[in-house]
Amino acid sequence: MDQMDDALMTLFVEDTRERLGDIESALMDMERAGAGIDGELVNKVFRAAHSIKGGAGFLNLRNIRDLAHRLESLLHLVRNREMAPDARVVNLLLAGFDRLLALVESVAASDRQDIGQTLADLAGLTDEHLTSEQKAQAAAVIPVALPGGEVVFSEDELSLRQAVSGGRNLYLVEYDLIHDVQARGRTPFDVISTMEASGLIVGCRMELAAVGDLGDPPVNRIPFYVLFASVVEPDIVGYLFALDVGRIHPVVLPEPAAAALAGPKGPEGADAAFGPWRLRFAASGAVLSLDAGAAPDAAAAREALLAALSRGDGLVIDWNAAQAVDLAAVQVVVAAARAFAARGLAFGHAGGPPRALADVAARAGIDPEALAAVGLPADVLFAS
């Protein structure tokens, strides 16, 4: 395993350098924008911290994981507009990301460094903007276990609640590094990237102890666990990752976390940008519109759809004569339609779905009968 560990560590360091390459300029842009901040800009910085946390969790780099998690928690408040990115906030984020990069550059010795003050500074600023209920949730630890009772993750309740906001489902996914990853010519980071395109990774870890020692019977399996939140429904999540559904375990949060998944209604007239998408709340519901001439960005659309869903609004998508639609957009539309329908919320397209969406769906073998099989009407993808 040493050679594989070295190769994975090198991949992680290179990927992290790339993700942090323009973080400083992004943070400075956030400060200049102030209350008028671009949601996609915050999402970019948030996703960098989140991805680094996931990779560090897999490699058991505790300091890097914990620092990335603290940065992520602060950015979550900025992203939800519960905290303004003023000079104090941005300076602390800059210092945190600088320290994060320094840890990565000396990755072998990263867990021997003292980052207690940096963590305390980030946690202190975050706590200032939490309600008393949220502070209690941040202190509460929820174990996440396999069906047999083995605890795989222990996460604070606040992080889990944030992960399932917007109607996401939570799953504990079991991979086998030998058969599900290496044998398919992939790396764990390929798996992580694929999952991040469809949801949010809360935690991941490799169970190297499963190989035992020389005195134990030989095993041909190295477990790789991922705690994953997504709007993808339980009956189709197995197809998404080409795994037996028996290794994908839905996680049900205990009260009170599960009772607070939906946020407040979006205020009428509120407007937010998600890449080329614009989300606007009106008295009749939410409208998600694509900029004229822009190519649909499936990841940005997913973020916007989650924002609408979390506020309990029905939604209409205005594709604005989009032409360049891909299969990722089809996946997002189907997942969103199911999520909105499950919560009794309206979901549709202004003027009907675009022809480009239907063409891509048809080429992939998705037809009205396939939609009906998962409880969706044909007009989710096809014009009537």
Where residue 11 sits, what CATH number does that domain have? 1.20.120.160
The radius of gyration of the chain's CA atoms, rounded to the nearest angstrom, is 21
Examine the pLDDT at 78 and tell me if it is beyond 50.
yes
How high is the pLDDT of residue 368? 87
Same domain, yes or no: 347 and 288: yes
Q: Which residues pair with 288 in a beta bridge?
A: 279, 317
Number of domains in the chain: 3
Same domain, yes or no: 256 and 314: no
Lookup result for tokens 């000079």: 87
Same domain, yes or no: 276 and 256: no
Mean pLDDT of the chain: 81
Mind listing the pLDDT tens digit for each residue in 302-336? 888 877 877 777 889 999 887 778 888 888 888 88
pLDDT range class, residue 95, cuts 50, 70, 90: very high
Mind listing the pLDDT tens digit for each residue in 337-350? 887 887 778 889 98
Q: In this structure, is residue 134 part of a structural domain?
A: no
**Of 73, 98, 129, at which residue does a domain stop?**
129
Same domain, yes or no: 244 and 278: no
Distance CA 97, CA 94 (A): 5
Q: In this structure, is residue 244 part of a structural domain?
A: yes
Same domain, yes or no: 241 and 327: no
pLDDT range class, residue 2, cuts 50, 70, 90: very low
Q: In this structure, is residue 175 part of a structural domain?
A: yes
Same domain, yes or no: 238 and 320: no
Same domain, yes or no: 321 and 363: yes
Mind listing the pLDDT tens digit for each residue in 6-51? 777 888 899 899 989 888 888 898 888 776 677 778 888 888 898 8
Examine the pLDDT at 259 and tell me if it is beyond 50.
no
The mean pLDDT of 236-252, rounded to a whole number, is 80
Helix pair angle (132-139, 157-164), 10° resolution: 110
Q: In this structure, is residue 266 part of a structural domain?
A: no
pLDDT range class, residue 103, cuts 50, 70, 90: very high
Q: In this structure, is residue 24 part of a structural domain?
A: yes
Same domain, yes or no: 162 and 227: yes
pTM equals 0.60
- Residue of 297, 269, 301 lying closest to 283 (CA atoms): 269
The mean pLDDT of 249-254, rounded to a whole number, is 86
Q: Which residues contact 198 (CB under 8 A, 6 or more apart)?
A: 230, 232, 240, 302, 331, 335
Q: In this structure, is residue 28 part of a structural domain?
A: yes
**Of 111, 129, 147, at which residue does a domain stop?**
129
How high is the pLDDT of residue 262? 38
Same domain, yes or no: 256 and 281: no
Same domain, yes or no: 249 and 275: no
Same domain, yes or no: 197 and 101: no
pLDDT range class, residue 183, cuts 50, 70, 90: low
Domain housing 76: 1-129
Q: In this structure, is residue 183 part of a structural domain?
A: yes
Q: In this structure, is residue 311 part of a structural domain?
A: yes
Higher pLDDT: 1 or 233? It is 233
Lookup result for tokens 């975050």: 126
Same domain, yes or no: 38 and 95: yes
Distances (CA, A) of 214 to 66, 221, 224: 33, 15, 21
How high is the pLDDT of residue 210? 47
Examine the pLDDT at 145 and tell me if it is beyond 70.
yes
